């Protein structure tokens, strides 16, 4: 036995190398199977290139096994199948989910190879491990890039047209306003229906309704503010993380952005030229990478103060509708008018959702009306059971 393998028995070393060979062969089979399932020709080509790389890795291990005096594993009748977990994910879920699972496997291979390089007392194998660990890390980045480009051109075009229709951020606050009106209207309608069933006193109904309006409006405004503030904080944290990665591994980040552009249809030369030009402006490079990799763009972030104001006001406006009739009417007349007005308002709010969802206005209106009636019936039933005169 050579001095290279003195720190570990030949049998144990062969077991490790055999495991590595099978893992690489399984990876190659998995990439080929995923390529067969991939309709996009560019992504298919990348997957086949990854399969070829895995085959090269497997040959390195088989050659080393032969050098150690054992039989070449590739000459046997052993058939290595693709990863069942990955292929099942691709068939049951989608290809991009399967790619993310494969990315995790590649990252695991990197850790395994790095650990083996430390533990195996074989300089030749250590050199191979270091080389393959770098390749596997590159594969993981490629898969990460592929998994981040799930949106088809039509989907991206629809997003652009939708954004232009609402002039940038306009669509965002309009959607928030509709949601706020709907939330306040439904919540307070339920309160009024329940209290009216429990008590015939107009004072109780009005007080409970106004309390519901106030609490719903403040709760919606506070939630909108905190949620949008948290979204901005997440953006800043992710941007800081990307900035740190750029400083530590600038070449990896440039390679990653090149892959994104290749997957968008640019050639390798075009992608490299674009990235080199962009790298001259580090801050723009950082924000572009964040947009491509994480889907983050500062201009798309909502204003927390505006979101809070829109949420509070719209919820209050929606919530006051079921209460208003009781300022002028009492008893059954007030309940009947409140019911009619509230149902009509629910239909109108539901129909208005078609402005931002592009759904059929009457389907949205009927859907919202049905929800309101269910809430009213449940609340009325509870109020009747708790009737206090």
Q: For the ranges 78-82, 90-94, 197-201, 304-308, which has the lowest average pLDDT?
A: 90-94
Q: How far is CA 90 from the centre of its chain?
A: 17
Measuring CA to CA, which residue among 233, 277, 232, 234 is closest to residue 257?
Answer: 277
Q: What ranges do the domains of the chain cover?
A: 3-147, 161-385
CATH fold of 3-147: Ferritin (1.20.1260)
Average pLDDT in the 177-204 region? 90
Average pLDDT in the 317-337 region? 92
pLDDT of 344-384, one tens digit each?
A: 999 998 887 765 555 677 888 899 899 989 988 999 899 88
Average pLDDT in the 126-133 region? 79
- pLDDT band per the 50, 70, 90 thresholds, residue 222: very high
DSSP states of 214-269: HHHHHHHHHHHHHHHHHHHHHHHHHHHHHHHHHHH-HHHHHHHHHHHHHHTT--HH
Average pLDDT in the 165-188 region? 72
- pLDDT band per the 50, 70, 90 thresholds, residue 190: very high
Whole-model pTM: value is 0.49
pLDDT of 280-295, one tens digit each?
A: 888 888 878 777 766 6
Q: For the ranges 156-165, 201-210, 322-331, 346-355, which has the lowest average pLDDT?
A: 156-165
The answer on pLDDT for 86 being more than 80 is yes
**Positive or negative CA dihedral for 287, 292, 296, 299?**
positive
The answer on pLDDT for 165 being more than 70 is no
Does residue 216 contact residue 189 with C-beta atoms inside 8 Å? Answer: no
> What 3-state DSSP class applies to 150?
coil
pLDDT of 55-73, one tens digit each?
A: 998 898 888 888 888 888 8
For residue 231, give every residue at least 6 positions away whose Cβ sits within 8 Å of its Cβ, in sequence order, or none. Answer: 301, 302
């Amino acid at each position: 036995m050579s001095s290279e393998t003195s720190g570990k028995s030949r049998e144990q070393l062969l077991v490790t190398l055999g495991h590595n060979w099978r893992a690489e062969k399984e990876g190659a089979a998995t990439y080929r199977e995923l390529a067969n399932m991939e309709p996009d020709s560019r992504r298919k080509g990348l997957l086949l290139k990854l399969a070829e790389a895995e085959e090269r890795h497997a040959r390195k291990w088989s050659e080393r096994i032969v050098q150690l005096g054992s039989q070449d594993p590739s000459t046997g009748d052993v058939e290595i199948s693709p990863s069942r977990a990955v292929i099942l994910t691709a068939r049951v879920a989608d290809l991009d989910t399967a790619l993310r699972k494969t990315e995790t496997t590649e990252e695991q291979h990197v850790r395994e190879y790095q650990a083996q390089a430390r533990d195996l007392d074989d300089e030749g194998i250590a050199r191979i491990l270091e080389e393959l660990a770098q390749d596997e890390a590159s594969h993981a980045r490629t898969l990460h890039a592929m998994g981040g480009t799930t949106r088809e051109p039509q989907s991206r075009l629809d997003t652009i047209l939708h954004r232009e229709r609402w002039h940038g951020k306009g669509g965002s606050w309009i959607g928030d306003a509709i949601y706020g009106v709907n939330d306040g209207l439904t919540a307070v309608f339920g309160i009024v229906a329940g209290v009216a069933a429990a008590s015939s006193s107009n004072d109780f109904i009005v007080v409970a309704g106004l309390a519901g309006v106030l609490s719903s409006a403040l709760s919606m405004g506070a939630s909108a503010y905190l949620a949008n503030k948290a979204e901005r904080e997440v953006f800043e944290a992710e941007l800081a993380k990307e900035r740190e990665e750029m400083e530590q591994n600038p070449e990896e980040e440039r390679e990653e952005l090149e892959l994104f552009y290749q997957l968008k249809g640019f050639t390798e030369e075009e992608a490299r030229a674009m990235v080199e030009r962009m790298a001259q402006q580090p801050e723009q490079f950082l924000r572009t990478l964040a947009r491509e990799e994480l889907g983050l763009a500062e201009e798309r972030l909502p204003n927390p103060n505006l979101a809070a104001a829109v949420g509070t006001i719209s919820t209050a406006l929606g919530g006051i509708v079921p209460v208003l009739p009781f300022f002028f009417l009492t008893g059954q007349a007030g309940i009947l008018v409140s019911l009619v007005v509230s149902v009509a308002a629910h239909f109108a709010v539901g129909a208005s959702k078609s402005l931002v969802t592009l759904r059929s206005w009457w389907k949205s209106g009927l859907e919202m009306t049905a929800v309101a009636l269910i809430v009213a019936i449940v609340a009325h039933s509870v109020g009747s059971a708790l009737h206090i005169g």
